[in-house]
Amino acid sequence: MTKTIDKNFSMPKCFNERSKPSLYCPGCGQSIFLKHLGFIIDDLEIQGKTTLGIDIGCSLLAWNFFNFDIVQTHHGRSVPVAVGYKLSNKRRIVMSIMGDGGGYAIGLQSLLHAAFRNNPISVFVLNNTGYSMTGGQMAPTSIPGEITTTSPSGKDPKNSGKAFHGPELIKQISDNSAYIARASVSNPIMLQKMIKKTLENQIKNNSFSFLEVLTPCPTNWKTTASESFNFLSKMEKEFPIGEMTKNEK
Amino acid sequence: MEKLSYITGNEAAVLGAIEGDAESFFGYPITPATEILEGWIRKAEENKNLNYLQTEDEIAAGFAVIGALLAGKKAFTATAGIGHVLMQDPISMAENERLPFVGIIAQRGGPSTGTVIYSQQELNLASYGGNGDGLRIVYSASSVSEVYYLSQKVFSIAWKYRFPTFLLTDGYLAKQRVNTKLEKYLKPFPSSKILREMKDKPTHLRNCYGSEIEFANILKRNIADYKSLINKVAESESYKASDSKYLIIAHGSVASAAKDSVDILRNSNVKAGLLRPITIRPLDSRNIRRLALKAEKVFIIESAFEQFARMIIFKVPEIANKTVKIYKPAEGFTPDEIASLVNEKI
Ligand SMILES: Cc1ncc(C[n+]2csc(CCOP(=O)(O)OP(=O)(O)O)c2C)c(N)n1
Ligand code: SF4
Say whether pLDDT at A7 is over 90: no
CA-nearest residue, atom 5 of ligand 2: A24
Half-sphere exposure of A56 (CA within 13 A, CB side): 13
Q: How far is the CA of B305 from the centre of ligand 1 (A)?
A: 36
Tens-digit pLDDT profile for residues B50-98:
999 999 999 999 999 999 999 999 999 999 999 999 999 999 999 999 9
| Residues whose beta carbon lies within 6 Å of some atom of ligand 2 | A 24-25, 28, 30, 58, 128, 132, 217-220
Tens-digit pLDDT profile for residues B311-320:
999 999 999 9
Tens-digit pLDDT profile for residues B19-29:
999 999 999 99
Tens-digit pLDDT profile for residues A139-187:
999 999 999 999 999 999 999 999 999 999 999 999 999 999 999 999 9
Q: Are residues B246 and B175 in the same domain?
A: no
What's B263's domain CATH number? 3.40.50.920
User: Are the beta carbons of A146 and A155 closer than 8 angstroms?
Assistant: yes
Q: Residues B81, B83, B84, CA angle at the centre, nearest 5°?
A: 65
Range of the domain at B262: 236-345
Pick from B143, B147, B120: nearest CA to B10: B147
Nearest to A47 among B62, B66, B199 (CB): B199
Does B175 fall in a domain?
A: yes
Between chains, do A71 and B205 touch, taking CB under 8 Å as contact? yes
Does B11 fall in a domain?
A: yes
Domains identified in chain A and CATH numbers = 22-243 (3.40.50.970)
Q: How far is the CA of B59 from the centre of ligand 1 (A)?
A: 16
CA-A131 nearest atom, ligand 1: 13
Q: Residues A121, A122, A124, CA angle at the centre, nearest 5°?
A: 140
Nearest to A89 among B71, B203, B208 (CB): B71
Q: Are residues B60 and B166 in the same domain?
A: yes
Its pTM surpasses 0.90:
yes
ipTM of this complex: 0.97
User: Are the beta carbons of B324 and B298 closer than 8 angstroms?
Assistant: yes
pLDDT of the residue at B142: 98
Q: How far is the CA of A38 from the centre of ligand 2 (A)?
A: 19
- Using the Cβ of A90 and the Cβ atoms of chain B, whether some distance falls under 8 Å is answered with no
Does B68 fall in a domain?
A: yes
- The 3-state DSSP class for residue A66 equals strand
Region A14-43: mean pLDDT is 96
In whole angstroms, give the CA distance from residue B182 to residue B185. 10
Does B188 fall in a domain?
A: no
DSSP string over B227-295: HHHHHHH--EEEES-TT-SEEEE--HHHHHHHHHHHHHHHHTT--EEEEEESEEES--HHHHHHHHHHS
Q: Are residues B163 and B18 in the same domain?
A: yes
Pick from A243, A163, A188, A164: nearest CA to A211: A243
Backbone angles phi, psi at B84, to 5 degrees: -65, -35
CA-A141 nearest atom, ligand 1: 16
What's B56's domain CATH number? 3.40.50.970
Q: Which of B181, B197, B212 is the last residue of a domain?
A: B181
CB pairs < 8 Å spanning A and B: 123
Backbone angles phi, psi at A89, to 5 degrees: -150, 70
- Amino acid present at B181: K
Tens-digit pLDDT profile for residues B220-255:
999 999 999 999 999 999 999 999 999 999 999 999
pLDDT of the residue at A245: 79
Region B271-292: mean pLDDT is 98
Q: Are residues B28 and B129 in the same domain?
A: yes
CA B232 to each of CA A106, B277, B280: distance values in angstroms, whole numbers, following the listed order:
40, 14, 14
Region B299-328: mean pLDDT is 98
Residues 6+ apart with CB under 8 A from B295: B244, B245, B246, B247, B273, B322
Q: Are residues B13 and B134 in the same domain?
A: yes
Question: What percent of chain A lies above the pLDDT cut of 70?
Answer: 95
Q: Are residues B151 and B13 in the same domain?
A: yes
Per-residue confidence at B32, pLDDT binned at 50, 70, 90? Answer: very high
Half-sphere exposure of A111 (CA within 13 A, CB side): 33
Between chains, do A69 and B203 touch, taking CB under 8 Å as contact? yes
Q: Are residues B21 and B138 in the same domain?
A: yes
Q: Are residues B11 and B126 in the same domain?
A: yes
Chain A nearest CA to B28, separation (Å): 13
Q: Are residues B157 and B267 in the same domain?
A: no
Q: Are residues B30 and B168 in the same domain?
A: yes
Does B229 fall in a domain?
A: no
- The 3-state DSSP class for residue B21 equals coil
Ligand nearest to the CA of A185: 2
In whole angstroms, give the CA distance from residue A122 to residue A178. 10
Q: Which of B157, B181, B205 is the last residue of a domain?
A: B181
Q: Are residues B136 and B275 in the same domain?
A: no
Say whether pLDDT at A137 is over 80: yes
| Residues whose beta carbon lies within 6 Å of some atom of ligand 1 | A 56-59, 75, 98-102, 126, 128, 130-134, 139
For A42-127, strand residue ranges (E) read 50-54, 69-72, 93-99, 122-127
In whole angstroms, give the CA distance from residue A126 to residue A184. 9
List of chain A residues whose C-beta atoms are within 8 Å of the C-beta of residue B66: 73, 81, 84
Q: How far is the CA of A218 from the centre of ligand 2 (A)?
A: 7
Residue B182 CA from chain centroid, whole number: 19
pLDDT of the residue at B2: 74
Q: What total of structural domains would you count in chain B? A: 2
Q: Which of B142, B159, B181 is the last residue of a domain?
A: B181
Say whether pLDDT at A8 is over 60: no
Does B208 fall in a domain?
A: no
pLDDT of the residue at B3: 84
Q: Give the A window 45-64 contacts with B, CB below 8 Å.
A: 47-48, 51, 53, 56, 60, 63-64
- The 3-state DSSP class for residue B104 equals strand
Region B278-303: mean pLDDT is 98
pLDDT of the residue at B1: 62
Tens-digit pLDDT profile for residues B189-200:
999 999 999 978
Say whether pLDDT at B335 is over 60: yes
Does B214 fall in a domain?
A: no
Q: Are residues B68 and B132 in the same domain?
A: yes
